[in-house]
Copies of this chain bind each other. A is one copy, B any other.
Amino acid sequence: MTFTASPQSLHFEAPLPLQSGASIRGYDLSYETYGQLNAERSNAVLICHALNASHHVAGVYPGQERSEGWWDNMVGPGKPVDTNRFFVIGVNNLGSCFGSTGPMHVNPGTGQVYGAEFPVVTVEDWVNAQARLLDALGIGQLAAVMGGSLGGMQALSWTLQYPERVRHAVVVASAPNLTAENIAFNEVARRAIVTDPDFHGGHFYRHGVVPARGLRIARMIGHITYLSDDVMNEKFGRELRAAVVGNGSGYRFSTQDVEFQIESYLRYQGDKFSEYFDANTYLLITRALDYFDPARAFGGDLTQALARTQAKFLLVSFTTDWRFAPARSREIVKALLENRREVSYAEIDAPHGHDAFLLDDGRYMGVVRSYFERIAQVQA
């Protein structure tokens, strides 16, 4: 069932103008492709990633255990996004720490590692960079662009920035912008990183250290918001990691030791994350989330903002997702319908919170499968 993935890379010398007014030149984009581009070049599907993912969407790397792509349950031969029919492209975004040019790479303008000087990149900038990659691959129009969470924002932005280049957009567990609460959680995570003495203003590479304390806190906060209260209670509840025998409560009565299983889980997730994720990337990606707001230029009117779209849409949300709640997806659905766009919307009753978009759920997978089957039939 598994297949082999081969990461590739393309170098772009020409400067890419960024939304901030800055630009970036001499950058690389890492990507992977699965399946075959048809003769008409009409079966390409672009998959956009969220915070902690990459161009490695599906398949495995030979000889590497547990190297499945992050959406391997969704993309592959016979999977909902069927690589026997579609030519699927995964691309790592600029500023990431998984292959494409990011803060840990050398700025060709200065010969120094970017660090905190890496330019602020937005969802719109990523989409522009992805469009250049498609140009280089000879793909004019996408059969579909698809993403979850921050990836869903990119999919939505594609339909606004390149309306004629997208036939379908699949936007999962996403939102037309972040709420104040979303921004607040991002800000706490950023403060934890930036105020870690090992951050050194973003130039920690020079000091041979990593702001691991801050990254751990950031990841712990993230994890809480990815899960639902219900699934946390079911998975961990108030279970103790190692109950003390012969004392009535089982508590160790400590303020610093791990007492509850949920604490152990969060510490583990935080530790693991701090070993591989780049702190500057964390700042950049959370800011891209904060900044995304296509309605902003239209005085907050999302219907007006989405008038430019030409694509057909599938939106999916999950009932227990409190980070990107169903109501946020419904805002997009409503604005698209007001523009008389063709929209399918599925609200999946899943217990797993925001994380649900990465997990197997029969109804969720079924909806995506049917939608892509329809795309395949139309173009066949």
Residues of chain A whose beta carbon lies under 8 Å from any beta carbon of chain B:
19-22, 116, 120, 177-181, 183-185, 187-188, 190-192, 194-197, 202, 213, 216-217, 220-221, 223-224, 227, 229, 232-233, 235-238, 247-251, 253-256, 259-260, 262-263, 266-267, 270, 280, 283-284, 286-287, 290-291, 293, 296-297, 322
Chain B residues, Cβ within 8 Å of A227: 181
Q: A236-B180, A238-B177, A256-B283 are in contact. Are A297 and B249 (CB under 8 A)?
A: yes
Q: Determine whether the beta carbon of B184 is less than 8 Å from that of A262.
A: yes
Q: A120-B255, A266-B188 are in contact. Are A195 and B224 (CB under 8 A)?
A: no
Q: Determine whether the beta carbon of A232 is less than 8 Å from that of B184.
A: yes
Q: A188-B217, A188-B266 are in contact. List 9 more A-B contacts (CB 8 A).
A: A120-B254, A179-B232, A180-B235, A184-B263, A191-B217, A192-B192, A221-B221, A229-B322, A249-B291
Interface of A (DSSP majority class): helix
Q: Determine whether the beta carbon of A237 is less than 8 Å from that of B180.
A: yes
Please pick, from B220, B287, B297, the residue contacting A255 in the complex, using a CB distance under 8 A.
B287
CA of A183 to CA of B178 in the docked complex: distance in angstroms?
A: 25
Q: Determine whether the beta carbon of B296 is less than 8 Å from that of A249.
A: yes
Q: Determine whether the beta carbon of B256 is less than 8 Å from that of A190.
A: yes
Chain B residues, Cβ within 8 Å of A217: 188, 191-192, 195, 217
Chain B residues, Cβ within 8 Å of A284: 255
Q: Determine whether the beta carbon of A220 is less than 8 Å from that of B187.
A: yes
CA of A55 to CA of B296 in the docked complex: distance in angstroms?
A: 47
**Measured between C-beta atoms, what is the minimum distance from A23 to chain B in Å?**
13
Q: Determine whether the beta carbon of A259 is less than 8 Å from that of B181.
A: no
Chain B residues, Cβ within 8 Å of A116: 255-256
CA of A241 to CA of B227 in the docked complex: distance in angstroms?
A: 31
CA of A213 to CA of B232 in the docked complex: distance in angstroms?
A: 28
CA of A248 to CA of B248 in the docked complex: distance in angstroms?
A: 63
Q: Determine whether the beta carbon of A190 is less than 8 Å from that of B255.
A: yes
Chain B residues, Cβ within 8 Å of A192: 192, 217
Q: Which residue of B lies closest to A213 (CB)?
A: B195
Q: Which residue of B lies closest to A283 (CB)?
A: B255
Q: Determine whether the beta carbon of B238 is less than 8 Å from that of A188.
A: no
Please pick, from B183, B220, B233, the residue contacting A262 in the complex, using a CB distance under 8 A.
B183
Q: Determine whether the beta carbon of A260 is less than 8 Å from that of B191.
A: no
Chain B residues, Cβ within 8 Å of A283: 255-256
Q: Determine whether the beta carbon of B232 is less than 8 Å from that of A180.
A: yes
Chain B residues, Cβ within 8 Å of A194: 256
